[in-house]
Amino acid sequence: MNFTGASSSATTEIKRKLWNGCINIKVVLPHDSEDIEYLINIPRNSYLPIHFQQLISYFQNYVSYEIYKQALWFEYEGVPIAWNLPVGVLYDYLYLPSVIQERGGGGLDQNCWTIQLNLRGKYPAEYIIPFVYTNPDNTINYEQSLNEIIVNQLKQSCFVINGSAKPIMNLSESNSKLLWNSIVTRNLGQFTSLNKKIIPKQFQRIPVKIYIPGSTTVIQAPIHAYEDDKPVTLSRVLQRELPNLFTNDVKLARTYIHGIDISSIMDMPLHDIWTIFRHLDNFLYIIIIAMS
Amino acid sequence: MHNITNEQFNNCITAFNEVLVENLIFDKEYTLTIKNNYIKKVNFDKSYLFTSIEMSKKIDSEVIRIDFTVSYHDFYQVPILNIRPYKDGSFTALNGIGLQIAPTVITALTTHHILQKTWIEVHACETLEALQTLPEIYGTTVDSVLEYLCCWFGFYGLPAIFPNIRFRPHLYM
């Protein structure tokens, strides 16, 4: 993929494709002696709790207890899955390394990520954020917890971009609701128009999060868009943050954003990459997969 | 007050920890004991202070445990407090341990930015601006970063959540 010098219509087309990018997920509920499976197609920039209602409606047909009243949580290879990250980031962080390793081997379903749904047993609150809000009928209010998380993420990225969280904190109540609604209902036009109120033309810094599968460390990097009047490139950022993996001559890892190997655009200005590839919380999520 | 950097935080965290351990007290009917306290350096030039405190009631055997970390948040460019209250050995909600909570403090359940596990975090989006309005105390021999950290902890640390926990270091004596 190379969009250096791309026209604005080409950029719009890339953004549209990223917005529509999806992951196939097979949700497996162990039940009695057999597994119950549900196939779901989730947008990369969406969040698992947005799709819980759909899962609850399906799995409730197979179990006698009330699913609505207990918190859903998922695991992959024994690891609880953090619902507060975009689904595409979870896939790239937890599953993509196996897909790349197995490519051509045929031992892994490369088109579908299988995760396990847990309904009973202790919710691993120390590892993944618990859902603490309930509705008047005692069912779990997933949306309120997700809203709280995303608003906090937006405040954080807004702070990095503007040097202050005021632009988002000063949004009117109706605009805040519309922004949230545009995320849940996936209304690109409405989201773009409201998000513009948070993002200024002049940047302080660019909010970047770098994940390294196999490591629990996440690099939170607020990056200045320019250094010595020159735009900072993604290569430069990675050489500085991960000097053991990225040097001028040797690259011991591959870089993925939205599941795409972006090796060919590493020398583009980071600001341009952020503009196109940022997630709904305005963070640029980068996954670094070490080459074996 | 001037802002501090991650490097300055790392350089001063040991000195701050000494002040913290000596000056953290609970002013009501509990006795505060520090059960665990260390500073850990992790990848990418990050470090954090971990402390586990127990407060036992003087009149009965009730014990409250609170774990907390102090670390430098690269996005907010300020120190940040994360806490975990425990009841009967299990991680619980802030209001689940029976201590008075300051009505003005804003906290949220979140993924700890270093430990990547669930912790409660004091919101930091206004900390930078608020600390900039505080005057520096000139003419003392106190390290300005240490002064900053002590000041921050008073406003956004444990005493900001639990008014009965006091931190009044004798820095300038």
Whether B68 is covered by a domain: the verdict is yes
Contact A132 B109 (CB under 8 A): yes
A91 vs B141: CA distance, rounded Å? 53
CA distance A84 to chain B (A): 9
Q: Does residue A219 form part of some domain?
A: yes
- Is B70 domain-assigned? yes
Which chain A residues are within 8 Å of B84, Cβ to Cβ?
126
Per-residue pLDDT of chain B (173 residues; tens, 9 = 90+): 678 899 999 999 999 999 999 888 887 677 888 999 999 998 888 999 999 998 887 667 778 899 999 999 999 999 999 999 998 888 888 888 888 888 888 889 999 999 999 999 998 888 888 888 877 665 555 688 888 899 899 889 999 898 888 888 876 55
The answer to whether the Cβ–Cβ distance between A164 and B91 falls below 8 Å is no
Is pLDDT at A178 greater than 90 in this prediction? yes
Give the ipTM. 0.88
Number of domains in chain B: 1
In which residue are the tokens 């920039």 written?
Answer: A45
Interface test with B, best of A132, A144, A159 (most B CBs within 10 A): A159
Residue B171 lies in a domain: no
The 10s digit of each residue's pLDDT in A82-141 is: 999 999 999 999 999 988 887 656 666 778 999 999 987 789 999 999 999 999 988 899
Residue B85 lies in a domain: yes
Nearest C-alpha of chain A: how many angstroms from B124? 9
Q: Report the CATH number that the domain containing residue B112 is assigned in CATH.
A: 3.30.1460
Rounded Cα gap, residues B37 and B69, in angstroms: 10
* A50 and A82 co-located in one domain: yes
How close, in Å, is residue B86 to chain A by CA atoms? Answer: 11
pTM of the model: 0.91
Q: How far apart are the first and last CA of chain B?
A: 21
**A280 occurs within a structural domain:** yes
Confirm whether A40 is domain-assigned.
yes
Q: Do residues A221 and A240 touch, judged by C-beta distance below 8 A?
A: no
The CATH number assigned to the domain holding A47 equals 3.10.20.620
Task: Report the mean per-residue pLDDT for chain A.
Answer: 89
The maximal CA–CA distance of chain B, rounded, in angstroms, is: 48
In a domain, A4, yes or no: no
Tell me, what's the pLDDT at B138? 55
In a domain, B154, yes or no: yes
Query: Which residue has 């930078």 as its token pair?
Result: B128
Structure tokens at A49: 């709790």
Q: Residue B170 domain-assigned?
A: no
Look up residue A214 and give its DSSP letter. Answer: T
Q: Number of structural domains, chain A?
A: 3
The answer to whether A215 contacts chain B (CB < 8 Å) is: yes
What element of type H or E holds A152? helix A142-162
Q: Is B44 on the interface with A (CB under 8 A)?
A: yes
Q: Do A127 and A152 sit in the same domain of this protein?
A: no
**CATH number for A178:** 1.10.246.190
Q: Which of B173, B169, B172, B153 is nearest to B19 (CA)?
A: B169
In a domain, B130, yes or no: yes
Q: Supply A290's token pair.
A: 């070490």
Same domain, A149 and A252: no
Q: Which value, in Å, is the radius of gyration of the alpha carbons in chain A?
A: 20
Instruction: Provide the pLDDT confidence category of residue A12 given band limits of 50, 70 and 90.
Output: confident
- Say if residues B12 and B49 touch (Cβ distance below 8 Å): no
Q: Which structure tokens are listed for A272?
A: 């341009």
- Angle (CA) A55-B112-B67 rounded to 5° is 115
Secondary structure class of A79 (helix, strand, coil): strand
Cβ of B75 within 8 Å of Cβ of A169? The answer is no
Per-residue model confidence (pLDDT) at position B30: 78
Q: Is there a domain that residue A8 lies in?
A: no
Cβ proximity of A236 and A221 under 8 Å: no
Asked, for residue B1, whether it belongs to a domain, the answer is no
Q: What percent of chain A has pLDDT over 70?
A: 95
Q: Are the CB atoms for A236 and A224 separated by under 8 Å?
A: no
Chain B residue closest in CA terms to A169 = B125
- Residue A180: half-sphere exposure toward Cβ, Cα within 13 Å: 20
Q: How far is CA B24 from CA B20, B46, B47, B87, in A?
A: 6, 24, 21, 21
A108: Cβ contacts below 8 Å, ≥ 6 apart? A98, A99, A102
- My answer on whether A70 and A172 are in the same domain is no
Contact A164, A194 (CB under 8 A): no
Whole-angstrom distance, CA of residue A223 vs CA of residue B145: 24
Residue A115 and residue A186 in one domain: no
- For residue B136, the enclosing domain spans 6-165
Q: Which domain holds residue A66?
A: 22-133
Q: Do B93 and A132 touch (CB under 8 A)?
A: yes
